[in-house]
Homo-oligomer: A and B are copies of this chain.
Amino acid sequence: MTTLQNDLLLRAARREPTERTPVWMMRQAGRYLPEYRAVRAKADFLTLCRTPELAAEVTIQPVDIVGVDAAIIFSDILVVPEAMGMTLVVEEGKGGPQFPTPLRSLDAVTKLDADGAADRLQYVYDALSTTKKGLDGRVPLIGFAGAPWTLASYAVEGRGSKNFETIKRLMYDEPDVLHTLLAKLTKVLGEYLVRQTQAGADIVQIFDTWASIMSKDSFLEFSLPYIMQIVEHVKSHTNVPVIVFAKGANSSLQELADCGADVVGLDWTVDIGEVRDIIGDRVALQGNLDPVALYSAPENIRAEVRNILTWFGNHPGHIFNLGHGILPTVPPEHARVMIDAVKEISREIRAEKND
């Protein structure tokens, strides 16, 4: 195993002291980079996910181009329901991946194949091991998966939705069917993340994007318990840190801090300093610049970075990130401004406070 030359992310995730704050960006391997678009011109989205050499190439790009402190494997959260038997389709220019035949009955849920699903995702593990070789120890490699609630939402709605009427009707009117679906997804996801670590992931993140649409009691019943099972599974089979990002679940930050994860991700609507005061140092925090701030002028990006670093303060356990994925039309040089600012200003803050 190659020793990491830059393990800031892993140390911050474990709340160990670091000489500066590590930084990466959700969706950092993506459309805002011309180099990514050049690869995508040769291969459609799902081919890119399924071709380890290409996935590795775009995964490593932002490490070289914008200087992030970690690589996150290029993939999609929806490959898991696909591996369980759902048909996944991506039509160019028609938004993200979709399931043209969404789950709408207990029968359809029963037919989902959980048993061999983690095996059918071998191409993801191959992409991880290929990336790992390509990185050659420069920065840690992040594996990831969607949370059961978010995957269930896509599987039942078929695609992103404005009001998520179908999944919520299932939640209110047939909670047992939903629990059956969530349990099946949970089983696959735990195994999937462990296999990702075996293939080279140094840390894993669970994305619960659609936590944002839930009431607190729904989140505590239909999302968090399943996330906790996955975290527990990963923790009992590996030594890697786990990040949980439940977007918009800001009423449940205390509960998230106790879910077993090492790091809790924050969207941009909360004050990271206040959150740290409330939940203390039980977990590290990741976040939380508004992705839209990257459209502003460089001096204003730097000012926003300084605010977040200052609010968090000179404590261990901060991973700088956006509060959601980087937007496709952000100029790459603005991403670079943010990343350089995090590196420079966080060193400065460490020095000031230690005088």
Q: Which residues of A approach B to under 8 Å, CB–CB?
A: 163-165, 168-169, 172-173, 212, 214-218, 248, 250-251, 268-271, 274, 290-293, 295-297, 300, 304, 307, 323, 327
Contact = CB atoms under 8 A, between A and B. Distances in A.
Given A165-B292, A327-B163, A251 B268 contact: no
Given A165-B292, A291-B163, A214 B269 contact: yes
A296 B173 contact: yes
Nearest 5 A-B pairs (CB), nearest first?
A172-B296, A168-B292, A216-B271, A172-B300, A251-B270
Given A216-B269, A251-B269, A293 B168 contact: yes
Given A215-B290, A217-B307, A297 B172 contact: yes
* Copies of this polypeptide in the complex: 2
A221 to B, nearest CB: 11
Nearest to A290: B215
Contacts of A215: 268-269, 271, 290, 323
Contacts of A295: 165, 168-169, 172
B248 A269 contact: yes
A254 to B, nearest CB: 10
10 contacts: A164-B292, A165-B292, A168-B290, A168-B292, A169-B296, A172-B296, A216-B274, A217-B307, A250-B250, A251-B270
A209 to B, nearest CB: 14
A271 B217 contact: yes
Nearest to A323: B215
Given A163-B292, A248-B269, 19 more contacts: A163-B327, A164-B292, A165-B292, A165-B295, A168-B290, A169-B295, A172-B296, A172-B297, A173-B296, A212-B269, A215-B268, A215-B269, A215-B271, A216-B270, A216-B271, A216-B274, A250-B250, A251-B269, A251-B274
A172 B216 contact: no
A15 B250 CA distance: 27
A250 B291 CA distance: 19
A157 B243 CA distance: 35
Contacts of A300: 172-173
Contacts of A291: 163
Q: Please indicate which of the listed interface residues A212, A269, A290, A295 has the most CB atoms of chain B within 10 Å of its own CB.
A: A269
A216 B304 CA distance: 12
B271 A250 contact: no
A270 B215 CA distance: 6
Given A163-B292, A215-B290, A297 B168 contact: no
Nearest to A292: B168
Contacts of A290: 168, 215, 218
Contacts of A327: 163, 165
